[in-house]
Amino acid sequence: MDEGDQIDILVALQEALANAALHGCKDDPLKKIFCAVTADPVQIVISIRDSGRGFNLERADPKKFETTRLSHGRGIPLIRGLMTEVSFARHGAEIIMSKRLATAP
């Protein structure tokens, strides 16, 4: 895998896991986060699901994003910028993100 793709995927994965831990699990060490990864020579797909209730998906609408100086609210736009596709399931308690690999045939 291309080094640039590796960095993009690593940063997106860290952001998604941080969101799941902080917002979905409320930093409760007893709650679990589930992560599934599939990959082939063309793309990698990562799904992260937490036990939270999700969130208002309108807040993840890229057309409504506003730059902020707050310490939160930038993770999803960052993930969208790094990955090829980003979608949500379970009312936002699950993020599915994929990256088409630069080295894909």
Q: How far apart are CA 104 and CA 56, in angstroms?
A: 35
Q: Which amino acid is at 102?
A: A
| Adjacency order of strands within the sheet including 94-100 | 33-39, 43-50, 94-100, 85-89
Out of 1.10.290.10, 3.20.20.80, 3.30.200.20, 3.30.565.10, the CATH code matching 3-100 is: 3.30.565.10
Q: How far apart are CA 33 and CA 22, in angstroms?
A: 11
Query: What pLDDT does 71 receive?
Result: 53
pLDDT in tens, 38-93: 999 999 999 999 999 988 777 666 666 555 555 556 788 889 999 999 999 999 89
